[in-house]
Structure 1
Amino acid sequence: MEILILIVSLLFVFVGIAGSVLPALPGPPLSWIGLLILYTMPNIKFDYWILGITFVFTLIIVILDYVIPAQGTKRFGGSKYGIWGTNIGLIVGILAPIPFGFIIGPFVGAFIGELIYDQNDSKRALKAATGSFFGFLASTFIKFVFCMILFGIYIHTVWKYWSVWF
């Protein structure tokens, strides 16, 4: 039974790592659930501190995942129209059946939003769309690094209690 719990928790962590790059999957929450499942094993001491701290960081990263692309648009001179376009484009990009829609969506959304704001300034619209793309890349990088940290905690915990199982 313990081997099954190990396998299921490891699958959650791996799917979380994949989800840090694929926006259709909530990467950090899935990795955190894998860590939680690991700590429910009978021979592993339940560590409230590690789970509590990583849970808080998971919540922060989930929120930042929606904020960072919009802030990238704003930093590159985008208006509220561009920020709204980024958010709408992210949602449409995730739901659209086109490859890499989650990357293209925020870029196109910010561009269209800025063109709605000012039709005559396509250069500014392109700059804001570029900011949205960089924000998306930054957000993805943060999620990936955090999921790898959770994977490291997982490996450390399994290594620490390995002799109990075998």
Structure 2
Amino acid sequence: MSRIGKKPVAIPAGVTAAIDGRVLSVKGPKGTLTLGLEEEVTYAVEDGQIQVLPANETKRARSFWGMQRTLVQNLVTGVTEGFTKTLNITGVGYRANSQGKNLKLQLGYSHDVDFVIPEGIEIKTPDQTTVHITGIDKQKVGQVAAEIRRWRKPEPYKGKGIKYAGEFIFRKEGKKK
């Protein structure tokens, strides 16, 4: 069985990583991200790599090992490439429009939904039924996408609502006469 934690995280050119106490900070062309380090895992920055190892052989330390390595990988990927989520809006009269620091959603309610875009997130609407959410923090990008989707989840009969790109909505058959 291969373990993801054994692979060191490569630091690309133009990216610097430093450990200060129990905080790992990664700085790259898109910005700076920090991660509070767990005591169950040890970290080392050497030879253009970040090595993540369990501090001891307890079950708790080994369970943190792979997750912490993935979080470190997400920091490096975020400051070099960034993360993107795409939402598709389906339904008659449903549309989105990005206006400065707000995202205006028309989702069949009696009023428009104004979603305030958080700091560090960029939202683009290339057309009225597509929303691109980008940022350097993977968790924040996913959280913003989930909050927007929460306003009108896709329903199983007609498929109307806000769904992730590539998401499959299991469709139900309507009422029989």
Question: Counting strand residues as a fraction of each chain, which structure ranks higher?
Answer: 2
TM-score (norm 1): 0.28
Structure index of larger Rg: 2
Higher relative contact order (CA 8 A, sep 6+): 1
